[in-house]
């Protein structure tokens, strides 16, 4: 992998990740952009103890542009985009309309391929590995920013999810706090560690799932399963079998095997609702340990956390979506219409 860092016309950082070491990236952003001004602010909810990002400048972000005006495609002739060069393998740049900025963190866009009509599932194993390497590098770089406590790499896919740009891409949020979902996990880890005299909750969950009926895919270094208490109709968790706290901890064997299992998993997601159905909308979310202090979670150290990816769709059956209604949105109590065992069986049935 070759990494080339440059700046866009308004001062934002852009980084090319290339498969070939002899690739030269010297294109200049020719757009007449003024320096980006953001209004991001993080406010703490005194009742729930969590944080909300207020970012009114995002109201003006680009919304469903036609394909020939996509800002994530390479620049071509006089059609100038966020990527100055005429081609790329993987590229990451600071979001022009970030939810988090400055002392409130940072937001980046990750373009998986220059092919506007592709999806992550269409990537080769070599390309998917390059994306993994880019996620890892960005996690490392962002973890050193003084305002950043946790790094979250994710992909939103599909109009049903709320995606406003059709080009295959994901995002990275670098939060100035530990997210509420991670905090819940760490509390459970602390309780399990105390109750078992030092046992690890993630290890226990993985061991139990591998011995059960909800395994979807398993390799030498990774395992994918539908969790016992899945929140979503089709939800799969992908774990490395050797516990590591973040992407930086993966060894070469795990990095090599990851594209094989993940690409197959995504392709199965596209087949679960039958041939001829629209592409399955999904969210793919990497859960990594915070880089900040863990004093709020007594007895827990950073290595107690287990890196894993959670992949789920909001589609519950052909032509129908799972909406977060009163119980889910009002009380955070999920009601799942698809038994996890049946979801796992279906995902095994649609093997290529």
Cβ–Cβ under 8 Å, residues 281 and 160: yes
Look at the chain and count its residues: 352
| Cβ neighbours for 115, distance < 8 A, ≥ 6 positions apart | 122, 168
Judge whether 169 counts as a catalytic residue: yes
Q: Which of 57, 167, 169, 192 is catalytic?
A: 169
Residue 215, classed as helix, strand or coil, is strand
Please state, as a whole number, how many other Cβ atoms lie within 10 Å of the Cβ of residue 208: 12
**Can you tell me which residue has the tokens 């997210």?**
179
Cβ–Cβ under 8 Å, residues 148 and 282: no
Give the separation between CA 232 and CA 235, rounded to whole angstroms.
6
Give the separation between CA 221 and CA 250, rounded to whole angstroms.
10
Residue 106 CA, distance from chain mean position = 15
Q: Which residues are catalytic?
A: 169
């Amino acid at each position: 992998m070759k990494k080339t860092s440059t700046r866009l016309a308004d001062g934002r950082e852009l980084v090319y990740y290339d498969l070939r070491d002899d690739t030269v990236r010297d294109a200049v952003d020719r757009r007449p952009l003024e320096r980006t001004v953001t209004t991001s602010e993080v406010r703490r909810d005194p009742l729930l103890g969590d944080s909300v990002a207020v970012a009114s400048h995002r109201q003006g972000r680009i919304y469903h542009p036609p394909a020939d005006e996509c800002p994530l495609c390479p620049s071509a002739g006089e059609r100038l985009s966020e990527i100055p060069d005429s081609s790329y393998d993987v590229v990451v740049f600071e979001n022009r309309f970030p939810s988090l900025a400055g002392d409130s963190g940072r937001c980046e866009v990750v373009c998986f391929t220059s092919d506007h009509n592709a999806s992550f599932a269409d990537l080769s194993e070599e390309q998917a590995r390059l994306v993994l390497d880019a996620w890892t590098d960005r996690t490392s770089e962002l973890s050193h920013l003084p305002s950043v406590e946790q790094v979250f790499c994710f992909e939103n896919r599909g109009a049903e999810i709320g995606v406003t740009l059709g080009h295959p891409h994901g995002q990275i949020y670098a939060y100035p706090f530990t997210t509420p979902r991670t905090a819940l996990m760490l509390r459970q880890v602390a309780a399990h560690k105390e109750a078992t005299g030092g046992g690890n909750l993630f290890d226990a969950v993985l061991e139990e799932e591998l011995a059960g009926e909800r395994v979807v895919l398993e390799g030498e270094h990774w395992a994918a399963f539908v969790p016992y208490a899945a929140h979503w109709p089709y939800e799969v968790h992908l774990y490395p079998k050797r516990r590591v706290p973040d992407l930086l901890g993966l060894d070469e064997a795990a990095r090599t095997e990851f594209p094989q299992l993940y690409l197959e998993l995504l392709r199965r997601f596209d087949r679960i609702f039958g041939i001829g159905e629209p592409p399955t909308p999904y969210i793919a979310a990497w859960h990594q340990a915070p880089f900040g202090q863990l004093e709020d979670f007594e007895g827990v150290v950073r290595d107690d956390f287990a890196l894993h990816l959670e992949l789920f769709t909001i589609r519950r059956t052909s032509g129908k979506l799972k909406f977060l209604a009163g119980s889910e949105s009002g009380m955070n109590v999920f009601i799942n219409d698809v038994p996890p065992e049946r979801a796992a069986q279906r995902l095994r049935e649609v093997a290529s």
